[in-house]
Structure 1
Amino acid sequence: MSTGTDSDTPRTGAGWDAGVGSVVNRSERRGGTLRLATSADVDSLDPARTYYVWVWLLQRMLNRTLMAYPTDPGPAGLTPVPDLADGPALVADGGRTWTYRLRENLRYDDGSPITSADVRHAVERVFAQDVLPGGPTYLVPLLDDPERPYPGPYRGTGPLRSVHTPDERTIVFRLNRPFSDFDHLMAQPCVSPVPRRADTGATYGKDPRCSGPYRIAAHRPGEFLHLERNPYWDRAGDPVRPALPDRVELAIGIDVDELDDRLIAGEFDINLEGRGLQHAAQDRVTVDDVLRSCTDNPRTSFLHFVSIQPHVPPFGDVHARRAVHYAADKILLQQARGGPVTGGDLTTALFPPRLPAHQELDRYPTGPDLRGDLDAARAELRAAGLADGFEAVIGTQRGKFRLVADAVAESVARVGIRLTVKELDVASYFSLGAGSPETVRRHGLGLVVTDWGADFPTEYGFLAPLVDGSQIKPNGGNWNISELDDPLVNELINRSLHTTDPAGRARLWRDVERRVMDHAVILPLVHDKTLHYRNPWVTNVYVHPAFGLYDVQAMGITTERTDRENTV
């Protein structure tokens, strides 16, 4: 409720894009409440099960990992640094053995000590996909024994043989092949320490032990999540997290347009979800100099695309899939995302420009005006025996995704492809909706609108989850939505992991990209640009280069925000 005081009037922010590559409102001021909001729910508070990038950023407040991305807005933010570890890993055996030492006197939020055995147990939990589906599984093929697959810690088969803990502070990983990106895996939430005594399996996310500067004070799924300080966190022993607010309050499940209105009105400090302002708010903000000065428009390196499922008829025929590619009106699709300023840069390739393997690839040209090559699309339909077109279903969720689905339907209708739009639940869209092969089949989703940002900023981290056959997850959280399992693609990916020469790796990944585009299972739309709004009283605001979103764990609140709280 407004009080009519001056604090209700936004003051000028630091300027358009000031939070891209630099920090807005640097401050070390502690105290206050950071107020966040999302339209979607937290996918999981179990660090092994979360896969939403904004929840990974939230996890940086709750949990620590052996390595972590530093609080840095520049290129240095892309390289993991020691977090729970007291220094870089000792790497031996040609990149197959990685040894880390934990810092001294690490404790959970209940005061109990954190040991190397807890990190090992966290890694073992990743293998229990029948119990804990949803999170990344990169560690499984690197640490498993194909002759005796490890089922996880709940089957009573003994420990994971490839991870050793010779003492309470030392952990040794013995990989079955070299993997130069291993430090990046040690920065993922799934390796946050979990004490075996507190592990309740599938329900652990209801009461997890926290190793970071905050712990869960209250949580009502679909409504709110409140965090309070972890009294056993040692600021001097954490080189990454400033932990400035005393409390963090997240409001969950707010309609996207309502969220924008309440954010701009100052009720919330930041939209944690980071999908950016919707079209109505964009139109308002971009023409108002004061509001515009509080916005950032970064290239996030997220890829927005349509996945096409070969296992859903008639898309088992590659010509039916290619017809969709040729019929796509790229301009209309970009407009559905928000236009060239806030909707993203049009792309016909998969890799974002900042990755070495990026290439100018246009496998299915859509004409000089980018509105679609309808003759080529009709030729593909005839090759598929579908000259009169066909009916299919496109899966999506509300908001911008729905606008994209409608634009796809309008595009392909011009060649007789008649799409029915099916909206799925926002909160579970990537876990049990589009990310569930069973859901895709049950609803006959031949096409799915989705997006993807790299789990870590390398070619493998970006593309492997989308196209590597070994990463198909039947129980949910599946990002290889098309379930592509091409032996040649898989072989090229494996070869890249054994290639130490950066130029050679880039060439292999370009080959992977070309092969994937030949299959026509991914229709790339844009490399994302998102319009973020930051209220002017939030400190230490910047877009983290490894995540493409605001790094909320770095933020604080000025006295202006505290004064505002006291007048409402």
Structure 2
Amino acid sequence: MTAPARRLTPAAAGAGWDAAVGALVNPSDRRGGTLRLVTSADVDSLDPARTYYVWVWLLQRMLNRTLMAYPTDPGPAGLVPVPDLAEGPGQVGDGGRTWTYRLRPGLRYDDGTPITSADVAHAVRRVFAQDVLPGGPTYLIPLLDDPARPYPGPYRSAEPLRSVRTPDEHTIVFHLNRPFSDFDHLMAQPCAAPVPRRADTGADYGNAPLSSGPYRVAEHRPGSFLHLERNPHWDPATDPVRPALPDRVELTIGVDVDDLDARLIDGEFDINLEGRGLQHAAQHRVAADGVLRSHTDNPRTSFLHFVSIQPHIPPFGDVHARRAVHYAADKILLQQARGGPVTGGDLTTALFPPRLPAHQDLDPYPTGPDLRGDLDAARAELAAAGLPDGFEAVIGTQRGKFRLVADALVESVARVGIRLTVKELDVATYFSLGAGHPETIRRHGLGLIVTDWGADFPTEYGFLAPLVDGRQIKRNGGNWNISELDDPVVNDLIDQSLHTTDPGERAHQWRAVERRVMEHAVMLPLVHDKTLHYRNPWVTNVYVHPAFGLYDVQAMGLVRDAPDGTDS
């Protein structure tokens, strides 16, 4: 039996279309109630070192704290990390190579034990154990490792990571091997959340993690549900970021996308945590109802939706075969598959979203004035590849909008003799063990993959490096350099940007990276996403976080009325 819908009350009504973009809808400090979240995909990991889904990072903001964090702010200030566990931003020395943080007093885990600088140091050491803990971001490894004596992680060596020092239980010092101006951003990632050595069970830590945030895991059944309860040892006086309003958070996992939308709009759930946006059926329903439309937001998320083309899968080892796909793509049809210009996203022929300084007008493979494809150019590329009659290949995708995009590309390239077979992969593990696993790509011969990407942190490095830096290819899953591009020129340009302090010069270097990547034709950019989100009107403090492009669920609360009209 489904729960009855919550009744709209005057206190919760009247926010309006797009009201949660750049502003807070239904501001309130009311505590209590149960926040009911839903997703179609499963949590990739509750281990803060292993998670890489952006919506799980938002969930981690409830469970764990980090030295720095993105503030609860719907405006541009939300893009700048603020002190969280730390008393202040990193103190920089040695020309940008040394970063020092001091922890606040009185910090505790959910078991009541104190949080120390040694716990943060141990969390950082765990990132190096990619053989045991694959899946999460690995930016810290090249910054803190000694190439002459690579650190194997805490499970294979009793030696400390010498680049991280803890002179006392409240102080941690990072000695980088090169300057990195975005280091505060790295200290806001979940992998920097403290993990005490005494509680670390390696690959099993995600089954029973300690919490430093306002909530802890009450019960978790993977693929089905995750329930959170209050952390009794979280002290709001030490936390400048999290209001922690609900008493309980219940996440329902694995609901089919169209069923999810219907049950969300009918009030069975409060918010779609995953944030993939309403599917086409629900979009039509909302468009026809002015009241429902007033509860939706259509933000530019800065996610890039694209098709990855794999040079290691025949016949895409020939750049001309890859370029043929670019020229044959019907951009209008592909945008329509995403939902059209309103909810599908802004068409793009470049990689960087407009809000980043390195954004440039770049169109190396123009598809004609109507954007429907340059079929003559595509046929010329096929001839140059020795494939004048086209070829057969497999495109990987998942159900929902991704499948519609795959079908649109099948239709586009068939016009020049490229015959694609669609292979649907599991939604729950799509980015970890499907598109994100090199072995899966090879096993199914996936020459093309439909995917999308949002920056790990809102800078050029955070946006593009994981997609194109050959040193960030992950063989054990969670790989985002899907094409496995490993171009020394690209890698060198990325390194130059990390040593550049002048913002204008750094943007110039990243534009060069983008041009070089597009020459390889391993990424077919489609749209910079605009996603149609639905917020139920009884949820308070709703806003699209500018650093994540999704609703910031840790800020949310509930108005007084519940489904049965009683106090929630």
Range class of TM-score, shorter chain: over 0.9
Count of residues in correspondence between the two structures: 567
SS in 1 for 2:451: strand
1:208 maps onto 2:206 in alignment:
no
Tell me the equivalent position of 1:57. Answer: 58
Provide TM-score, normalisation by structure 1: 0.98
4+ residue runs of structure 1 moved beyond 6 angstroms? Answer: 2-6, 8-11
How far apart are residue 3 of structure 1 and its match? Answer: 9.1
Residue type at the aligned position of 1:407: A
Tell me the equivalent position of 1:7. Answer: 7
Output aligned runs, 1:463-502, within 5 Å.
463-502=464-503
Evaluate the alpha carbon distance shift between residue 28 and residue 368 of structure 1 in structure 2; reply closer, same or farther with a 3 A threshold.
same
- On the 8 A contact 1:95/1:178 being kept in 2, the answer is yes
- On the 8 A contact 1:304/1:527 being kept in 2, the answer is yes
SS in 2 for 1:560: coil
How far apart are residue 325 of structure 1 and its match? Answer: 0.1
Q: Give the CA RMSD over aligned residues.
A: 1.4
CA distance in 2 between counterparts of 1:12 and 1:285 reads: 16
CA distance in 2 between counterparts of 1:525 and 1:2 reads: 38
Tell me the equivalent position of 1:415. Answer: 416
Evaluate the alpha carbon distance shift between residue 42 and residue 2 of structure 1 in structure 2; reply closer, same or farther with a 3 A threshold.
closer
Tell me the equivalent position of 2:101. Answer: 100
Tell me the equivalent position of 2:184. Answer: 183
Tell me the equivalent position of 1:361. Answer: 362
Tell me the equivalent position of 2:45. Answer: 44
How far apart are residue 560 of structure 1 and its match? Answer: 1.9
Tell me the equivalent position of 2:313. Answer: 312
CA distance in 1 between counterparts of 2:196 and 2:357 reads: 39
CA distance in 1 between counterparts of 2:442 and 2:384 reads: 25
CA distance in 1 between counterparts of 2:423 and 2:4 reads: 44
- On the 8 A contact 1:12/1:290 being kept in 2, the answer is no
How far apart are residue 6 of structure 1 and its match? Answer: 8.4
CA distance in 2 between counterparts of 1:287 and 1:565 reads: 31
Tell me the equivalent position of 2:265. Answer: 264
- On the 8 A contact 2:271/2:535 being kept in 1, the answer is yes
Tell me the equivalent position of 1:280. Answer: 281
Evaluate the alpha carbon distance shift between residue 280 and residue 9 of structure 1 in structure 2; reply closer, same or farther with a 3 A threshold.
farther
SS in 1 for 2:422: strand
Residues 100-120 of structure 1: per-residue CA shift (max 9 Å, x gap)? 000001100000110000000
Deviation larger for 6-15 or 357-366: 6-15
- On the 8 A contact 1:85/1:103 being kept in 2, the answer is yes
Evaluate the alpha carbon distance shift between residue 399 and residue 3 of structure 1 in structure 2; reply closer, same or farther with a 3 A threshold.
closer
Tell me the equivalent position of 2:448. Answer: 447
CA distance in 2 between counterparts of 1:224 and 1:456 reads: 28
SS in 1 for 2:181: coil
Evaluate the alpha carbon distance shift between residue 5 and residue 326 of structure 1 in structure 2; reply closer, same or farther with a 3 A threshold.
closer
CA distance in 2 between counterparts of 1:110 and 1:559 reads: 31
- On the 8 A contact 2:6/2:561 being kept in 1, the answer is no
Output aligned runs, 1:220-231, within 5 Å.
220-231=221-232
- On the 8 A contact 1:8/1:265 being kept in 2, the answer is no
CA distance in 1 between counterparts of 2:283 and 2:542 reads: 20
CA distance in 1 between counterparts of 2:393 and 2:89 reads: 51
Evaluate the alpha carbon distance shift between residue 566 and residue 74 of structure 1 in structure 2; reply closer, same or farther with a 3 A threshold.
closer
Evaluate the alpha carbon distance shift between residue 39 and residue 3 of structure 1 in structure 2; reply closer, same or farther with a 3 A threshold.
closer
Tell me the equivalent position of 1:235. Answer: 236
Evaluate the alpha carbon distance shift between residue 201 and residue 234 of structure 1 in structure 2; reply closer, same or farther with a 3 A threshold.
same
Tell me the equivalent position of 1:249. Answer: 250
CA distance in 2 between counterparts of 1:315 and 1:81 reads: 45
How far apart are residue 7 of structure 1 and its match? Answer: 2.3
Output aligned runs, 1:63-78, within 5 Å.
63-78=64-79
CA distance in 1 between counterparts of 2:313 and 2:8 reads: 53
SS in 2 for 1:197: helix
Output aligned runs, 1:335-350, within 5 Å.
335-350=336-351
CA distance in 1 between counterparts of 2:4 and 2:97 reads: 63
Output aligned runs, 1:497-512, within 5 Å.
497-512=498-513
- On the 8 A contact 1:398/1:426 being kept in 2, the answer is yes
How far apart are residue 156 of structure 1 and its match? Answer: 2.2
How far apart are residue 9 of structure 1 and its match? Answer: 9.2
Tell me the equivalent position of 1:396. Answer: 397
Deviation larger for 89-98 or 9-18: 9-18
Tell me the equivalent position of 1:427. Answer: 428
Residue type at the aligned position of 1:486: D
Tell me the equivalent position of 1:351. Answer: 352
What runs of 5+ residues in structure 1 fail to find an aligned partner? none
CA distance in 1 between counterparts of 2:6 and 2:154 reads: 57
SS in 2 for 1:356: coil
1:379 maps onto 2:380 in alignment:
yes
CA distance in 2 between counterparts of 1:562 and 1:531 reads: 25
CA distance in 2 between counterparts of 1:387 and 1:87 reads: 62
How far apart are residue 565 of structure 1 and its match? Answer: 6.7
Evaluate the alpha carbon distance shift between residue 400 and residue 422 of structure 1 in structure 2; reply closer, same or farther with a 3 A threshold.
same
Tell me the equivalent position of 2:548. Answer: 547
Evaluate the alpha carbon distance shift between residue 87 and residue 398 of structure 1 in structure 2; reply closer, same or farther with a 3 A threshold.
same
How far apart are residue 88 of structure 1 and its match? Answer: 1.7
CA distance in 1 between counterparts of 2:458 and 2:6 reads: 43
Evaluate the alpha carbon distance shift between residue 48 and residue 76 of structure 1 in structure 2; reply closer, same or farther with a 3 A threshold.
same
- On the 8 A contact 1:13/1:535 being kept in 2, the answer is no
